[in-house]
Amino acid sequence: MPKSKGMICAPQPEAAEAGVEILRAGGNAVDAAIACALVQTVVDPLMCGIAGFGSMGIYLPGRAEHLYVDFHSPAPRAARPDMWENIIQSEARDGYGFILDGNVNDVGYQSICVPASLAAYHEAHRNFGTLPWSEIVQPAIAWAESGWTVRPHVHFFWSDPGMMGRVPTPDRIAHTPASRALYCRPDGSPKRVGDTVRNPDYAEVLRRIAAGGADVFYRGEIAEQIEADMRANGGLISRQDLRDYRPRRTAPLWGEYRGYRIATNQPPGGGIMLVEMLNMLEQFDLAALGHNSTAYIRLVAEVMKRATIDKDRFVGDPDFFDVPVEQLTGRPYAAQLAAEIQGGVRAEVERFNAGFTQKDTTQISVIDAAGNCVSMTHSLGMPSGVITPGLGFMYNGCMAVFDPRPGRAGSIAPGKARFSSVCPSIVFCDGRPCLVIGAPGATQIAMGVLQATLNVLDFGMSMTEAVVAPRFSATSNAIDISNRIPRSVSRALESDGYEVVRSPYTFGFAAVHGIRIGDFGLDGAADPGHDGVALAV
């Protein structure tokens, strides 16, 4: 069998197919990733959207380009550090945001940060794509107009009852009449597996974007409609917020692990956590411990907790907070933390008044015949439930993850982006990519990417084995585990004094999607907890 010349991996089959068709039409990895992303906004509309946020790693060896296009949604100019200080109920146990009176930060017009995704898609294509922009947008237009069928994981998320005081997803879907009309049955319940969703309003918006690019959204007629809706419903977004928004280009944040080089994203993305955790784990012989053994889970959980503590204290938008990147990603600091773990010291993760996190994000991993690679994670954060009449897309709900307590790394400030665990990454061996990886999964993203990366690098797993293996997480003092991890392991952890929370689900803790690259060719895998595929070209 001939080796594949390219591959795309995504959690939605329609999106992956669109990316493959773009590669076959002569597009490069950037073209394919953007076409895939735009289809994702149609067929997984509560996971991502043109009014969302994310981070995109781009490696183009023929052009000697390696960079990130980061598009973290900033808080609107109308936001203030103390605007919600007096209505805090609690912090989520896993650290993914705060619960406020009336859930004002979680759903509705005040939960929306400045839309960022479309600007990033358009800028990445304009600078690094090869096919015409209108051709890249066309697959998404077709799916919005003709309709798509609700898949099992889409229905699973749409029916989510909510955790830790968060608004249930069915209530988000029904929050505005426009959303309810699109995604609910006549009885008001979310559409089910096999039901069709058609979105002609969004198809028309995409046609306008195909013709006019991102400007029509940020400075043109769509911006006018957004501003009018926000003003009428108490939203914080202004016309100036839209007009002034720009994505950022940054250099990769580099880490090293057992001779591999890891390129990931800068703060406020989650790459800093990934590098810090790998640095700590390099001090230990993981293979000797045994994959998902009691000793292995205890060790990795303590590493996860320490990275979580540092994230909470030190990682925010570097324009607003002095993030000690060199210290947190330095080998001396990792050795100090590793020594604590070896000495039996258990980390304590503080939570304010403190389930699982919501998983409303999606991932794309691409490599083309020229060796160009893209890893992009993009999201709505928590879907706000808001669709402006006539526009057909849902806005992000990113205000929910800001810390409503002033004076902290994650506190609210106008124009500030909040921390996001998204960490689309590329691992290099001998100067060449050997792993393109990323995941959706809210605060669990870095934890899922970490474990799948270890599965490949330390345990020699194929990409499929790496993403299928059951995962766990420790972003609080408890260790959350998949239901496929044996009870003998969890009992031993409990006997050692750990609180272990067993998920009723066999999947979870992010949904890793990746491509492994080597002399064998391309080996891609989509996490079976979602509905995606890895398709070769």
* Residue 311 structure tokens: 């994230």
- Contact (CB, 8 A) for 400 and 481: no
Residue 282 has what pLDDT?
98
Closest listed residue to residue 304, CA positions, set 456, 445, 108: 445
For residue 137, how many C-alpha atoms fall within 13 Å in the half-sphere facing its CB? 23
The rounded distance, in Å, linking the Cα atoms of 488 and 452 is 23
Look up tokens 């550090």; give the residue: 81
Q: Which two tokens stand for residue 457?
A: 């690098």
Q: Which of 530, 89, 156, 157 is nearest to 380 (CA)?
A: 157
Tokens of 274: 């990934």
How far apart CA 446 and CA 96 sit, in angstroms, is: 13
Consecutive H or E run containing 100: strand 98-100
Question: What count of other Cβ atoms lies within 10 Å of the Cβ of residue 459?
Answer: 15
Task: With CA atoms as reference, report the closest residue to 361 among 446, 473, 442.
Answer: 442
Say what the pLDDT of residue 163 is: 63
Identify whether the C-beta of residue 399 lies closer than 8 Å to the C-beta of residue 80. Answer: no
pLDDT at 183: 97
Is residue 378 within 8 Å of 361, Cβ to Cβ? yes
The span from the CA of 52 to the CA of 74, in Å, is 11
The rounded distance, in Å, linking the Cα atoms of 293 and 488 is 10
Residue ranges of the chain with pLDDT lower than 50? 1, 353-359
Sequence ranges of the domains in the chain: 7-249+360-401, 253-356+427-517
Q: What whole-number distance in Å separates Cα of residue 140 and Cα of residue 148?
A: 11
Nearest to 245 by CA among 46, 387, 40, 417: 417
In angstroms, the Cα distances linking 17 to 53, 98, 207, 436 are 23, 37, 20, 18
* 253-356+427-517: CATH number: 1.10.246.130
pLDDT tens sequence across 85-142: 999 988 776 556 788 999 999 999 999 999 999 999 999 999 999 999 999 999 999 9
Enter the tokens of residue 239: 């016309």
Residue located via tokens 């293996």: 469
What residues contact 62, with CB distance under 8 A and at least 6 apart?
A: 370, 371, 372
Query: For residue 216, how many other CB atoms are within 10 A of its CB?
Result: 17
Q: Which two tokens stand for residue 331?
A: 């080998």
Q: How many CB atoms lie within 10 A of CB 195?
A: 16
Rounded Cα–Cα distance for residues 108 and 116 (Å): 18
Per the confidence metrics, is the pTM higher than 0.85? yes
Residue 165 is predicted with a pLDDT of 61
Residues with active-site annotation: 361
Q: How many other C-beta atoms lie within 10 A of the C-beta of residue 234?
A: 10
User: Two tokens at 499?
Assistant: 């609180």
Measured distance CA(394)–CA(226) in Å, rounded: 11
pLDDT in tens, 321-335: 999 999 999 999 999
Q: What is the pLDDT of residue 130?
A: 98
Instruction: Sheet with 432-438: list strands edge to edge.
Output: 253-257, 260-264, 425-429, 432-438, 513-518, 521-526
